[in-house]
Chains A and B, each alone.
Chain A
């Protein structure tokens, strides 16, 4: 039973992080947008999901939000009661929260492209990194979302099933379905004329511009899509862990997602997915081994970023294209073979 619980937990985390990794691969590996603010969109989606699944749920159920806001004990008790007794309402609000997270985070990403597409890669990375930190400062200073303590008691949409393993498994199936949709969509984009245009922009945006491609517009569209999906991942995460607080959305999250695509391969969806699978497994296994290094004179959690950072830098030096790099299209392979044959 514990193994099943572990697997469900790990695979749910994997599905959520794989959504982030695949979208980052599309942004950074394919389109050349160095997004060092991934956590900004993830966090915004999570907070939107949290607000919708608490405030809206309480408001529709007739609870006085002024007397029992969701970040208080009274609010959490009311939410637990409602989520156990009214399944259609919980599922309905959850579905709406996913849609709202996609649209709002997508629009936020789209608007951000207006200033960032004007500057080079280094500035884009820095600006987006700042956006993540500024949003975190806003969460800390906003009482409406619980300030430093954040929000608790965000209902999981299948909690009314009663059995924790069953409800978690249903949630896993849902996240896996969204992951499959995202993977298919990304795969189709990569193998379409748009995918080739994106790669040309990544390799040389001035050349793409001279060939008549509307580089800013294409980048904006892609950023809308990837930001929206990151927001969905955030909403899924908030409902899975049932809480949000500003400390969950630090730059380290962005770093983890970057590590996933670096290890797996930033130019392919399969690489990003495998990277997410490996790193989420390490992240899930490390707490289980805590008893082995309990004698250490420091917090063992600090070893994880050191370990991941080292793997990431070594992978970059040894395999700059990742462990699962994108294979060149068959036509290019044939041309190269023919040229080699001609050259003798």
Chain B
């Protein structure tokens, strides 16, 4: 029974990590901005669903939740780009400045959400600072129609959203001119612009997609977790970045595989440590960090992460 629960958790976490890590890799390889405010999109996606759920009298369909979270997450991301990253790019600042600026944004969004949650809690009575699980109306209807009531709702939600996003991304990047143009910008933005690709508009679109897809992991989270708090993004930031990090911030397939493995190893190890040694779940972070640290020492990711100069130095010194 315990193993069954761990497998279900790993399955949902895999989709949550995939939906949040793939866009991070996508944004970095297209724009070269390492966005520390990325986890904010997850939190905002979750809170859009929570607010609309309260507004609709706790009878929210998944289709509405997905659409709203995607649009709001996308708009927040696009606004970040237009108001901050784009003006910074005109000044030709270093990549470090982007990182610092995104860190500033992260805290602004995080604490604005705290303020909003406190106001909403006072105004409407529901506890927005720790919100319980949301059941989607249309998924419940689907479960009854297909006689799938024995399967937890979050498994069906995760499968529906995850598979839909996976197919959409595959079609976009492999079967459409738009996707090919986006890949062109990721490989060489200047060359792409010279070839007549409207780089500026496509970068805007990339940011919209990044925010929108990441917000969908928030839609999954509220259906799975018993308590959604404004710290949601902060709590899974390490896993999120770790998966993208293993993919070298460049490869989407490796990032997806890393997300699945990370979720599986983390949940299995945590269950084993808890069962045999009574280790508390707060140690989860240390497990993920241990994995990242081991990868850093054994095989530093190449891709956009750098690392080549130091290996090269080592070889030169040895000679």
Binding site for B on A (CB under 8 A): 28, 32, 34, 36, 114-123, 125-127, 130-131, 133-134, 137-138, 140-141, 205-206, 209, 214-216, 251-252, 255, 258-259, 262, 297-299, 302-303, 305-306, 308-310, 312-313, 316-317, 320
Contacts and interface: CB of A to CB of B under 8 A. Distances in A.
Given A116-B296, A215-B310, A258-B100, A306 B111 contact: yes
B99 to A, nearest CB: 6
B238 A32 contact: no
B304 A120 contact: yes
Nearest to A217: B313
A121 B104 contact: no
A119 B87 contact: no
Contact of B301 (A119, A141, A259): A119
Given A209-B309, A303-B115, 7 more contacts: A118-B310, A126-B241, A126-B245, A133-B285, A133-B289, A215-B310, A258-B104
24 contacts: A32-B96, A115-B296, A116-B296, A118-B300, A122-B304, A127-B296, A130-B238, A133-B285, A134-B285, A141-B280, A209-B309, A209-B312, A216-B313, A297-B122, A297-B123, A302-B114, A303-B111, A305-B110, A306-B107, A306-B115, A309-B105, A310-B104, A313-B84, A316-B88
A252 B107 contact: yes
B305 A206 contact: no
Contacts, number: 156
A298 B310 contact: no
Given A114-B297, A118-B307, A316 B97 contact: yes
Nearest to A208: B309
A306 B108 CA distance: 4
B93 interface: yes
Contacts of A133: 238, 285, 289
A36 B301 CA distance: 20
B108 A313 contact: yes
A317 B310 contact: no
B91 interface: yes
A125 B102 CA distance: 12
B285 A320 contact: no
Given A138-B286, A205-B309, A215-B313, A122 B292 contact: no
Contacts of B296: 115-116, 118-119, 123, 127
A122 B301 CA distance: 12
A288 to B, nearest CB: 20
B313 A115 contact: no
A137 to B, nearest CB: 5
B293 interface: yes
Contacts of B101: 312-313, 316
Nearest to A256: B107
B91 to A, nearest CB: 6
Question: Considering the complex of A and B, which 6 residue pairs feature the smallest CB-CB distances, nearest first?
Answer: A120-B306, A122-B34, A309-B108, A115-B296, A298-B118, A118-B300
Contacts of B118: 297-299, 302
Contacts of A216: 310, 313
A91 to B, nearest CB: 37
B258 to A, nearest CB: 14
A36 B91 CA distance: 23
B249 interface: yes
Contacts of A316: 84, 88, 93, 97, 100-101, 104
Contacts of A209: 309, 312-313
Given A127-B292, A141-B280, A255 B297 contact: no
Contact of A306 (B91, B112, B122, B311): B112
B68 to A, nearest CB: 24
Contacts of B28: 122
B95 interface: yes
Nearest to B102: A313
A100 B261 CA distance: 40
A30 B216 CA distance: 40
A123 B100 contact: no
